[in-house]
Amino acid sequence: MTRKEMTNERAQSDVRINSAERGGIGRSQIESLFKTHYTQMYHLALTLLFDEAESKDVVSDVFASLLSGKVVMKADNAKAFLLASVHHRCLNVLQHKQVQERFARLLTEDADTLSSDNTAVEQMQMEELMRYVQDNLSSLEQQIFRLRYLREMTCQEVAGALNVSRQTVHTHLKQSVGKIRKYFNSNSKAI
């Protein structure tokens, strides 16, 4: 590699930004960073998340933040900054998944468990939850909720069973859990 090529490569990967002068990175610089670092960023995300779609989403979110101006990159080494951003977003995704799974375990229990182990109060709370789901969620939200939490299918499996995208499943689950949480919090009911 010639000295000029090395200088050009360094200029692409090491972006110095004076936000007072430019107000952030220009679109062409972001496109250059995307072309240069996307593959490595994607592989890092895939290594951490084990999900191709989520990995692509994470990398896209990093670049979307740069494009929107939400994040101003002031690093000497753009590659390190971008990889660190992907790493942190992956950790956030994993943490969010853990919270959702804990919440789901608290919300749902198998019907056998309901009839055998639970106290009367817990059984009444679970029945109220299922009534709320039936009365207040759309048909698709109900199907997704039941397949994901009662049958314990993965989001990908639910998507395949209902012939919708994984993102659609994720969006409806998030909305459903938000509605349920809001209802039970506003009515001071514990599950």
* pLDDT tens by residue, 26-71: 888 889 899 999 999 999 999 998 889 899 999 999 998 888 888 8
In whole angstroms, what is the distance from residue 19 CA to residue 25 CA? Answer: 8
pLDDT digits over 63-108, tens only? 988 888 888 886 578 899 999 999 999 999 888 888 788 777 766 6
As a whole number, mean pLDDT of residues 158-179 equals 89
Q: From residue 6, how far is each of 36, 63, 77, 123, 131 by CA, in Å?
A: 13, 24, 14, 67, 65
Residues 6+ away with beta carbon under 8 Å from 59 = 38, 41, 42, 45, 86
Q: What is the CATH number of domain 105-186?
A: 1.10.10.10
Q: What is the pLDDT of residue 14?
A: 39
Query: Would the CATH topology of 3-97 be identical to that of 105-186?
Result: no
Residue boundaries of the structural domains of the chain: 3-97, 105-186
pLDDT at 15 over 50: no
Residues 6+ away with beta carbon under 8 Å from 189 = 125, 128
pLDDT at 150 over 60: yes
Topology of domain 3-97, per CATH? Rna Polymerase Sigma Factor; Chain: A (1.10.1740)
